Amino acid sequence: MRSENESGHGLLDRWHRLIEGDTQSPEQRMNRSFLFCAAVGCFSGAILNYSAGLTDMVYVVLVTIIGAGMLAMWAHLRRGRNARHSAMVTSCLVAIGLLPLNWFYNQGTQGPSLLLFLAVGGYAFCLLLVAPVQRLLIAMLFLVVPYVLIWLDYRFPDWIEPYPSKAAHAIDAAATYSICVILLLVMVTGFFRRFESEHRLLNEYAEKLREAGLRDSLTGLFNHGSFYALADAYCRKADPTPAEHGALIIYDLDHFKNVNDSHGHVYGDTTLKFFSRVLREIVDARGGTAGRCGGEEFAVLLPGAGPAEVEEVDATLRAQLEAHPLEYGPVRVSGGVAFEPAASIKAWMERADHALYEAKCRGRDQTVYYDRSDTGVVA
């Protein structure tokens, strides 16, 4: 059975999907939640004013109409419409319609209307209004309208509808405060979601940049520095005894300079990318690591591999290259292999490089194995 916390989260998730829809945009989710809560607040205020007799029917009807307009806009967005200027429309509707109406019917400066102005102003300033002109317009609206209303309250006090009683005043203040708290909670939740979304994106970008710094831009293999670091770490932790197998292979594309000179650097790059893709697929399948150490030289680290595993990798690589020739023929490579990790990656690479040099001296297109206990190289 699911725990109470899981059930609670499930109900909360369903509630969010009901109100916010399937959008993943924090701005759109906050906008929809705010519109829904504002519409519910209008309906609640209309019912409260009607049932408690706080105002006349004109106010109740007008607030209900405004709430219906907000609910219709919410339903429009809920169906997947991405209304770019919905926040601006809502802000204007509230600033020049609902709040002045609430001001005159709820005792002006003595009522809670300024609190509503602050709550809706925060929504207007922070949600979806990315264009500077929009921000300026909304800022002017929420600055000018309250000052005009305060001046009218001072100049024409008879225009303000008084509360029928102190109890009615207290009820309206409590109800307005509750609505503002709900709206602020919606905005704060939206801001946290936006922060989490942007933080996640930043982490993804940082990971991509970190990965890009480890990879060769042309081939996608580890670059010289990152491969060197991985191989050096393997050397440090490996048991330096003959029983501890491990193989380092260095491959060099045969006559690559002639390939560039004869067929152009574009074809040369194609050759490097093709060889890298084939090498990476074979090495990754065996739990190894491949890197480009510079130019046409590549290195392979096969942890725990012995001669049989290396022969299999080398034979598979050459068979794949032979079976898939490029425009000017199959790719040919020379290889040098060194077993048993040395005390440092530098020494280990020197052994593999020594075997590679021997492969080139023997006519290329072959792989030679370094044997430190004998003459240095074996076929």
Q: What is the DSSP string of 259-319?
A: HHHHH-HHHHHHHHHHHHHHHHHHHHHTT-EEEEEETTEEEEEEET--HHHHHHHHHHHHH
Categorise residue 248: left if φ over 0, alpha if ψ from -120 to 50, beta otherwise.
Answer: beta
Same-domain status, 99 and 184: yes
Q: pLDDT tens for residues 174-189?
A: 888 888 888 788 778 7
Per-residue pLDDT, averaged over 371-377, amounts to: 54
Q: pLDDT tens for residues 58-98?
A: 888 988 988 888 888 888 777 765 555 666 777 777 788 87
CA–CA distances in Å: residue 197 to residues 84, 118, 194, 201, 202: 19, 26, 5, 6, 9
Strand partners, 339: 247
- The residue that leads in pLDDT, 65 or 168, is 65
pLDDT at 57: 87
Which residue, of 208, 242, 261, is where some domain finishes?
Answer: 208
- Percent of the chain predicted with pLDDT > 70: 85
Domain range enclosing 37: 4-208
Same-domain status, 125 and 181: yes
Strand partners, 156: none
Looking at the structure of the chain, the number of domains it has is: 2
3-state secondary structure of 292: strand
Domain CATH for 358: 3.30.70.270
Record the tokens describing residue 182, joined without a space: 């709900």
Per-residue pLDDT, averaged over 142-166, amounts to: 83
Q: Do strands 367-371 and 376-378 pair parallel, antiparallel, or not at all (unpaired)? A: antiparallel
Let me know if residue 218 belongs to a domain: no
Let me know if residue 147 belongs to a domain: yes
pTM: 0.53
Nearest alpha-carbon partner for 57 in 41, 117, 65: 65
